[in-house]
Amino acid sequence: MAEVEKIKNITNKSISIIEDASQAHGATREIDGISFKAGSFGQINCFSCYPTKNLGALGDAGIVTTNVESYSNQLKIIRNHGQSSRGQHTDLGHNEKMDEIQAIVLNEKLSMLDQHNSMRREVAHWYFEALQSLDLTLPMTENLNVHTYHQFVIKVRNRKKIIQLFKDEGINLAIHYPQLIHQHECLNDLNIKTNKFPNAEKISQEILSLPMGPHLHKNDVDKVSTLLKQALEF
Ligand SMILES: Cc1ncc(COP(=O)(O)O)c(C=O)c1O
């Protein structure tokens, strides 16, 4: 998790925090000896429950949390076509209601979230043990944070070759994400020149997401680690 306490310190009555915890369901950060969950810092907090997320539905779904009553009331109106009561449209809203099948699935999976996150941490632990001596950069976790490894992202030099070698073995490696926000065509109007964000640009060329999830076993991690060792020897 980010250093949210620092972000909180610069907010005031006219600046609110909208926290996006979509890749951190269940992650925690300790502040002044107290453990806080991702999605509890902002006035409004968002969780995507897209199927690949740590708390994933069977299709599109998402959650918004807030402790501010007026926001809660307003959000309920907006998600229901702007209706404050049946047939009474007090606002211009959207159709953003979570369908009930997804709600049932998410309720069930919510009870397993902590366990699944622990299993992800165990998978991460196996990766750390197997990869620590290799010529690559492993993810780091600040002492105050409990990571939930939505992704296990490493940095490597010869990404293309590694991806190809894994592909030959039937394993798809992903990149989260290959293109930076300002490099997308829809933001061309901002006219942001190459090298404006040199660190982000460099890192986006080196990152690689290894297979990660509570379903993985030690032998899966061993196979990935062995392949990675071979790829780095090229
Ligand atoms: C950090 C983050 N925010 C927002 C989103 C968007 O979520 P959704 O597609 O459920 O609207 C995602 C999805 O990938 C995400 O990872």
Domain 113-233 in CATH 3.60.20.10: no
State how far the Cα of 164 lies from the Cα of 64, in Å rounded to an integer.
Answer: 39
Q: Tens digits of per-residue pLDDT, 14-44? A: 888 999 999 999 999 999 999 999 999 999 9
Note the CATH architecture for domain 4-110.
Answer: 3-Layer(aba) Sandwich (3.40)
3 Cα–ligand 1 center, Å: 20
Q: Determine which residue's CA is closest to atom 6 belonging to ligand 1.
A: 48
Contact (CB, 8 A) for 162 and 231: yes
Contact (CB, 8 A) for 45 and 24: no
For range 154-164, the mean pLDDT: 95
Q: Which amino acid is at 82?
A: G
168 Cα–ligand 1 center, Å: 30
84 Cα–ligand 1 center, Å: 27
Structural domain spans, the chain: 4-110, 113-233
Residue 60 has pLDDT above 80, yes or no: yes
Closest ligand 1 atom to Cα of 49: 10
Q: Determine which residue's CA is closest to atom 11 belonging to ligand 1.
A: 48
Predicted confidence at residue 233, as pLDDT, reads 85
- Which distant-in-sequence residues (6+ apart) come within 8 Å of 10 by Cβ? none
Q: Tens digits of per-residue pLDDT, 2-17? A: 999 999 888 877 888 9
8 or 136, greater pLDDT: 136
Predicted confidence at residue 10, as pLDDT, reads 87
Place of tokens 């509890």: 40
Q: Tens digits of per-residue pLDDT, 82-97? A: 999 999 999 999 999 9
